[in-house]
Amino acid sequence: MLRFLVRRTLGAAAVLLLISAFTFFLFFSIPQDPALLACGKNCTADAVALIHRNLGLDDPVPLQYAAFMTGIVTGREFAAGPCPAPCFGYSFANDRPVFETLADRFPTTASLTVGGAVVFLAVGLGAGMIAAARRGTATDKVVSSVSLVLSSMQIYFLGPVVLGVLVYGTGLLPSPSYVPLTEDPAGWFTGLLIPWCVMAVIFTANYTRMARSTLIEQLQEDHVRTARAKGMPGRTVFFRYAWRGSLIPIVTIFGMDLGSLFGGAMITEFTFGLAGLGRLAVDSVIDIDLPMIMGVMLFSSALILLCNIVVDAAYALIDPRVRLDAGSSA
Amino acid sequence: MNAPAGAAGTPEPFLSVRDLRVRFSTEDGTVHAVDGLSFGLERGRTLGVVGESGSGKSVTALALMGLHDRRTASVTGEVLLDGHELTGAPEKKLERLRGNRVAMVFQDPLTALSPYHTVGRQIAEPFVRHTGASRRQGRLRAVEMLGRVGIPQPARRVDDYPHQFSGGMRQRVVIAMALVCNPSLLIADEPTTALDVTVQAQILDLLGDLRQEFGSAVVLITHDLGVVAGTADDVLVMYAGRAVERGPVREVLRDPQHPYTRGLLDSVPRLSSDPEEPLVPIPGAPPSLLVPHPADGSRAPDGGGPLRGCPFLPRCAFSGRVEGGDRCRTERPVLPAGRGAACHLTERQRRTAFAEEARPRPGRP
Ligand SMILES: Nc1ncnc2c1ncn2[C@@H]1O[C@H](COP(=O)(O)OP(=O)(O)OP(=O)(O)O)[C@@H](O)[C@H]1O
Ligand code: SF4
Ligand SMILES: [Mg+2]
């Protein structure tokens, strides 16, 4: 396990290095002078030249890249202000180091993503289990048809509808907002409840159908029949054997969904006006805030890579046949 | 034998199966997989059940265990185990018997064990459940059972997972799991088919030894007559979901009474036979057991199997010798109690027929 983690962390670092280099050099091909942006409204040619010198924009690109990379470890000093390590550059549009903004926005996105995932995993897998346990009955058919309808929903359609009905129409729920968990747990929960549920809806149906079908498949497995032949009660057979066998495909799909999960979180932020990383990404693209775009990109790539490592490690915990340290794959 | 005498004075065998029928409803119609099967088995004896693929052996085994899915399978008839009625018994009662009084060894040891749990846990599980032992005791018992079935270093291997064992060793684990509660009836469904020949012999020896040690009755399902010859006391020959012949192993193998049994024997090598003599497979294929739904959408009338007369008729070389012309086609032959065959041929007709048509040779029409 330890060797696996070390290997995968090094691999992830290499991937991030590539991404950073790629984006860095890509931005220099954009016909837009960052100094102009940094300069602001009442800009003079002299000021631009000054900023150029200040930011090292006249240096060769590889040299600037090296400065950027060292800055992550050591921190940098900009004319506009200090940028302590880890310095991912300085956003002139926001007039503060990129990393500070990222650190500000991250908890919103994390709360949204984790909470949404908890909701759709609980509801989706739960409904799938019920449908599988009662396969062929009316319950099964209701669950399956509801999940079919829900799977065609879209956040940007459902979000405003829910807002209109539950918040502005009836006032049943408070309008979505983000309050840090540490400040006000109850406010955090109620503020995010609607975004969680709306975001979960599009994923839930998928997980219901998948849990149902893999469970039904697993229930036909020989070893599940063996468990019944041993006299184990239905509940034990279902959870200890059939459910256990369903975890691998579910975790696999979850791992593949991580990307769209972050994507879903970003759309959700936008729909409900929450200030998270998704919002930040969109704003910084509109402002052509290059350091910020790059920061958001690196940061979210790192997050997804980290989650993938966690998912792969989970395989080994679920299935004893998976040996992480052996072989050169992954 | 030591069978307990029934109240009326008639000896009730330890396991008694009467008119067992298993039907599956499928999209196309009803499959009559087992169609009126009856047999008895005493404690400490081994019954070999043979028949071609699809003859209903596994379906019978699952019916004895009460393992058929109640949603799709209808099981009727009587299965009495030591006086307990099993068909239609509530699931709770079956759970108490399964793995405890009745246990099963499955065909494929590679898939019969859960890959997610250690062999020790899987062996201990029914023991803990049925005897109320603690987990610790269960583990000790698992080690003991692993030793009994001949797994070296059982105390070390108890915490291994099934994928760390070879096929033969896994089948030993499955057997250990089946015997952990000292069941009085063991059903083994082709326990050696998936294994190497050398390993097959070891597993059969092991089953024989354990049967002696535990005194269990064994139903040994196989399509290998050699296995039956070496291990069973009695044999039941199945064809198209029915029993067509039954009797002590030696008698049935030496002097088969049913044309199907005779065909089976001709299709396997025998030590006594001339090695030059070619093996003759039975021509043709078993009949379909499916009764399609009537075209008008109504359910098929209950009870009627797919076949009216003798299911073996299309493949039988002797039906012409039966007196009364059409009987093989119109009248279902019954299997008499005790030694006998479900065939319309009389004893004399059979003897002359089998003698004259010594062995059908390839090349002959
Ligand atoms: N769940 C089921 N639904 C429908 N038909 C079934 C089902 N299980 C078995 N059958 C049918 O019942 C018949 C008997 O099957 P069974 O598995 O008992 O044969 P078998 O004698 O064990 O053969 P084999 O030697 O291949 O194991 C077959 O025609 C099979 O297709
Ligand atoms: S009953 Fe007739 S068809 Fe059936 S096995 Fe006997 S002789 Fe052959
Ligand atoms: Mg079978």
Q: The domain that contains A189 carries what CATH number?
A: 1.10.3720.10
**For residues A172 and A197, is the Cβ–Cβ distance under 8 A?**
no
Pairwise CA distance, residues B224 & B298, whole Å: 41
Q: Is residue A22 part of a domain?
A: no
Helix axes A98-133, A244-272, angle to 10 degrees: 130
- Same domain for A173 and A255, yes or no, is yes
Superfamily of domain covering B13-101+184-271+285-365? P-loop containing nucleotide triphosphate hydrolases (3.40.50.300)
Give a yes or no: residue A230 inside a domain: yes
Alpha-carbon gap: B308 to the closest alpha carbon of chain A (Å): 34
Sign for the CA dihedral angle at A198, A203, A206, A209 comes to: negative
Domain that holds residue A55: 34-87
- Residues A141 and A38 occupy one common structural domain: no
HSE-CB for B143 with a 13 A CA cutoff: 10
Per-residue pLDDT of chain A (330 residues; tens, 9 = 90+): 788 889 989 999 999 999 888 888 887 777 667 677 667 667 777 777 877 777 777 778 888 888 888 888 888 888 778 888 888 888 877 888 999 999 999 999 999 999 999 999 999 999 999 999 998 889 999 988 888 888 777 777 888 888 888 778 777 777 888 988 889 999 999 889 889 988 888 889 889 999 999 999 999 999 999 999 999 999 999 999 999 999 999 999 998 888 888 888 888 888 888 999 988 988 888 888 888 888 888 888 898 899 889 988 898 889 988 877 654 443
Helices (H), A134-272: 138-150, 155-162, 185-219, 222-229, 234-236, 244-272
Protein residues placing their CB within 5 Å of the ion ligand 3? B 58
Pocket mutation for ligand 1, best pick of B30, B59, B64, B237 (most atoms within 8 Å of C-beta): B59
Give the CA distances from residue A314 to residues A40, A126, A317, B163, in Å, rounded to whole numbers and listed in that order. 49, 20, 5, 19
Beta carbons within 10 angstroms of residue B2's beta carbon: 9
Q: Do A319 and B97 touch (CB under 8 A)?
A: no
Residues B265, B269, B270, B276, CA torsion sign:
positive
Are A111 and A230 in the same domain? Answer: yes
How many residues make up chain B in this entry? Answer: 365
Q: Give the C-alpha distances (Å, rounded to integers) separating B200 from A176, A328, B110, B193, B203.
A: 68, 37, 15, 8, 5
Q: B349 alpha carbon to ligand 3 midpoint, in Å?
A: 34
What number of other Cβ atoms are within 10 A of residue B169's Cβ? Answer: 21
- One domain, residues A237 and A113: yes
A83 and A103, same structural domain?
no
Final residue of a structural domain among A44, A61, A87: A87
CA B221 to ligand 2 center in whole angstroms = 24
In chain A, residues with a C-beta closer than 8 Å to the C-beta of B98 are 228-231
- A225, B67: Cβ pair inside 8 Å? yes
Q: What ipTM does the predicted assembly reach? A: 0.86
Residue B292's pLDDT is what? 83
User: Predicted confidence band at B363 (pLDDT cuts at 50, 70, 90)?
Assistant: very low
Q: Is residue A10 part of a domain?
A: no
Asked if A77 and A161 sit in the same domain, the reply is no
CA nearest ligand 1 atom 11, residue: B33
Around Cβ A171, how many Cβ atoms within 10 Å? 9
DSSP class per residue in A267-293: HHHHHHT--SHHHHHHHHHHTT-HHHH
In a domain, A12, yes or no: no
What total of structural domains would you count in chain A?
2
Q: Is A134 at the interface with chain B, CB within 8 A?
A: no
Chain B residues 172-201 with a CB less than 8 Å from chain A: 174, 177
CA dihedral sign of residues B42, B112, A236, B116: positive
Distance from CA of B215 to the nearest CA of A (A): 19
Q: How many CB atoms lie within 10 A of CB A66?
A: 12
pTM for the predicted model, two decimal places: 0.83
For residue A227, give the nearest of B125, B2, B120 by alpha carbon. Answer: B125
Q: How far apart are CA A242 and CA A318, in angstroms?
A: 13
Nearest-CA residue for atom 4 of ligand 2: B310
| HEC sequence for B300-355 | CCCCCCCCCCCCCHHHCCCHHHCCCCCHHHHCCCCCCCCCEECCCCCHHHHHHHHH
Name chain A contacts of B71, Cβ cutoff 8 Å. 136
A109 and A200 fall within a common domain: yes
Q: For position B241, what pLDDT does the model report?
A: 93
- Determine, for residues A230 and B65 on separate chains, whether the beta-carbon distance falls below 8 Å: no
Which of the ligands is closest to the CA of residue B64?
1
A3 is a domain residue: no
The Å distance, Cα B53 to ligand 3 centre, comes to 7
**Minimal-distance CA residue of chain A relative to B127:** A230
- For chain B, domain boundaries: 13-101+184-271+285-365, 111-180
> Whole-angstrom Cα distance, residue A187 to residue A263?
25
| The one-letter amino acid at A222 | D
State how far the Cα of A135 lies from the Cα of A218, in Å rounded to an integer. 13
Asked whether A199 and A268 are in contact (CB, 8 A), the reply is yes
pLDDT beyond 50 at B6: no
Whose Cα sits closest to atom 1 in ligand 2? B343
Is A48 in the same domain as A168?
Answer: no
- Quote the distance between the C-alpha of residue B198 and its chain's center: 23
Q: Are A223 and A305 contained in the same domain?
A: yes
